[in-house]
């Protein structure tokens, strides 16, 4: 009993001395370890530095500037900036040109993504086997992907030209009234969509072709033996296997629908009466034509937020694709 209590006393006494000894040494130790780790990491940091500088300037810095710029406004182009809080954002949200552009962009996104993905799937299924003929057809469908959107627009400007253009010359004759493809506010947005579908379907086809390679051969063979027809093979074997491809292509198609607006510049300038105005073109107009950096930044901020929410949902897919850190 006695000895135990003495031992207790001793062990109780020890902690009083401990704090000095234990806390000083590990702290020094931790610092040393951090320093050592940093020293060991230094070559890697130096290698990453050039990339990080440009990412900091043009990606993360740019994000920060959008945030700040969206909170300030000038009374006139020459006046000094003053803090206005959320005024720019509410001004943008109240601007019918912006809400119109958002609605247009939503229609445009669905109206380009769905048909181009459907066509891409059709092309990939039809051309999945490799021979001279399918390679030539793949190349033909892929050609529009390569050319600048501006060049595609220059060609389609003539295709849609009223009366003498390609479309009216060959197809227009079948219609009772010739539509003014780019001049009619009810049609112009759909005309613009046709270019995008023409330009992107071949690109998405590549991903489906790659995805089809992953469909297991033996499962397909089993399906053949069981007498599953083409529709049932597509519905129950191929489409489930292509699910990741669908997700990935949908994200790219959505990003394209927001970021690819060159044809709007060349063909319609957002008109007639804002019928083809898309969000990025609105941002450009605010910044370059109206010198309204506050409103342009607010619109950028809203678009970024919307896109980032969308891509965050697919972030895991993206991270998996890159193989993780």
Partner 1 sequence: MKLIDTLWKDAPLATRGEITPKLGFALTVLLAMVWLIPFLWMGVATLRPASDGINAMAELMPSLKPTLDNVRDAWEIGDFPRYTLNTTIICTGILLVQFVTITLAGFAFARLDFAGKTPIFYLFLMQLMLVPVLLIVPNLSLVAQLGLYDTLTGVMMPFFASAFGTFLMRQAFEAIPTELEDAALIDGAGLIQRIRHIYVPLSMPSFSAFAIISVTSHWNDFLWPLMVINSPDKRPLTVGLSVFTKTAEGTQAWGTIAAGTLMVIAPLLVAFLIFQKRFISSFVTSGIK
**Residues between 189 and 228 that touch partner 1 (CB under 8 A):** 198, 202-203, 206-207, 209-210, 220-221, 224-225, 227
- Should residue 144 be labelled a site residue for partner 1 when binding is judged by CB under 8 A? yes
Contacts of 257 (CB under 8 A, 6+ apart): 105, 108, 109, 112, 113, 196
Closer residue to partner 1 (CB): 18 or 34: 34
Q: Which of 164, 174, 175, 177 binds partner 1 (CB under 8 A)?
A: 164
Q: Which of 81, 107, 110, 255 binds partner 1 (CB under 8 A)?
A: 255
**Residues between 13 and 42 that touch partner 1 (CB under 8 A):** 37-38, 40-41
- Any bridge partners for residue 83, and if so which? 72
Closer residue to partner 1 (CB): 16 or 231: 231
Please give the Cα distance from 118 to 160 (Å, whole number): 24
| Beta carbon of residue 76, minimum distance to partner 1 (angstroms, whole number) | 18
Q: Which of 7, 65, 235, 243 binds partner 1 (CB under 8 A)?
A: 65
Cα Rg for the chain, rounded, in angstroms? 30
- Nearest of 242, 261, 253 to residue 200 by alpha carbon: 253
| Beta carbon of residue 38, minimum distance to partner 1 (angstroms, whole number) | 6
Do 278 and 99 touch, CB atoms closer than 8 A?
no
- Nearest of 4, 135, 100 to residue 299 by alpha carbon: 100
Q: Which of 105, 160, 168, 191 binds partner 1 (CB under 8 A)?
A: 168
| Beta carbon of residue 290, minimum distance to partner 1 (angstroms, whole number) | 12
- Should residue 237 be labelled a site residue for partner 1 when binding is judged by CB under 8 A? no
**Residues between 94 and 123 that touch partner 1 (CB under 8 A):** 119, 122-123
**Residues between 264 and 293 that touch partner 1 (CB under 8 A):** 265-266, 280, 283-284, 287-288, 293
- Nearest of 137, 113, 264 to residue 191 by alpha carbon: 264
Report DSSP state, residue 8: H
Closer residue to partner 1 (CB): 14 or 289: 289
| Beta carbon of residue 318, minimum distance to partner 1 (angstroms, whole number) | 6
Closer residue to partner 1 (CB): 8 or 221: 221
3-class DSSP string for 30-56: HHHHHHHHHHHHHHHHHHHHHHHHHHH
**Total residues at the site for partner 1 (CB under 8 A)?**
114
- Should residue 171 be labelled a site residue for partner 1 when binding is judged by CB under 8 A? no
- Should residue 165 be labelled a site residue for partner 1 when binding is judged by CB under 8 A? yes
- Should residue 307 be labelled a site residue for partner 1 when binding is judged by CB under 8 A? yes
- State which H helix or E strand residue 145 sits in: helix 132-146
Please give the Cα distance from 136 to 138 (Å, whole number): 5
- Should residue 143 be labelled a site residue for partner 1 when binding is judged by CB under 8 A? yes
CA angle 186, 301, 59 (to 5 degrees): 120
- State which H helix or E strand residue 72 sits in: strand 72-73
Please give the Cα distance from 166 to 159 (Å, whole number): 4
Closer residue to partner 1 (CB): 16 or 305: 305
Q: Which of 22, 25, 170, 236 binds partner 1 (CB under 8 A)?
A: 170
Please give the Cα distance from 180 to 190 (Å, whole number): 12
| Beta carbon of residue 19, minimum distance to partner 1 (angstroms, whole number) | 29
CA distances from 154 to 44, 148, 188 (A): 47, 10, 16
Closer residue to partner 1 (CB): 18 or 52: 52
Cis peptide before 38 (omega within 30 of 0): no
- Should residue 319 be labelled a site residue for partner 1 when binding is judged by CB under 8 A? yes
């Amino acid at each position: 009993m006695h000895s135990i209590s003495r031992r207790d006393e001793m062990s109780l006494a020890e902690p009083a001395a401990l704090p000095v000894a234990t806390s000083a040494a590990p702290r020094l130790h931790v610092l040393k370890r951090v320093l050592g780790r940093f020293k060991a990491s230094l070559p890697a940091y130096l290698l990453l530095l050039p990339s990080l500088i440009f990412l900091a300037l043009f990606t993360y810095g740019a994000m920060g500037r959008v945030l700040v710029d969206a909170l300030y406004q000038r009374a006139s182009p020459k006046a000094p900036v003053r803090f206005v809080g959320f005024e720019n954002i509410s001004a943008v949200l109240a601007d019918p040109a912006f809400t119109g552009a958002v609605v247009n962009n939503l229609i445009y996104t669905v109206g380009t993504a769905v048909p181009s993905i459907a066509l891409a799937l059709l092309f990939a299924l039809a051309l999945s086997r490799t021979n001279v003929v399918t390679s030539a057809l793949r190349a033909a469908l892929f050609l529009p992907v390569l050319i600048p959107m501006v060049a595609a627009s220059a060609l389609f400007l003539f295709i849609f030209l009223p009366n003498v253009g390609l479309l009216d010359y060959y197809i227009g004759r079948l219609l009772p009234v010739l539509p003014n493809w780019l001049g009619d506010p009810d049609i112009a947005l759909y005309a613009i969509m046709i270019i995008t579908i023409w330009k992107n379907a071949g690109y998405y086809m590549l991903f489906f072709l790659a995805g089809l390679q992953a469909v297991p051969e033996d499962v397909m063979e089993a399906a053949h033996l069981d007498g599953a027809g083409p529709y049932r093979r597509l519905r129950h074997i191929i489409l489930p296997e292509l699910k990741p491809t669908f997700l990935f292509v949908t994200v790219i198609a959505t990003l394209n629908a927001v970021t690819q607006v060159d044809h709007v510049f060349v063909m319609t300038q957002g008109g007639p009466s804002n019928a083809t105005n898309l969000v990025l073109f609105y941002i450009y107009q605010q910044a370059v034509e109206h010198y309204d950096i506050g409103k342009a930044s607010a619109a950028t901020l809203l678009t970024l937020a919307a896109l980032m929410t969308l891509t965050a949902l697919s972030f895991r897919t993206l991270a998996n694709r890159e193989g993780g850190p």
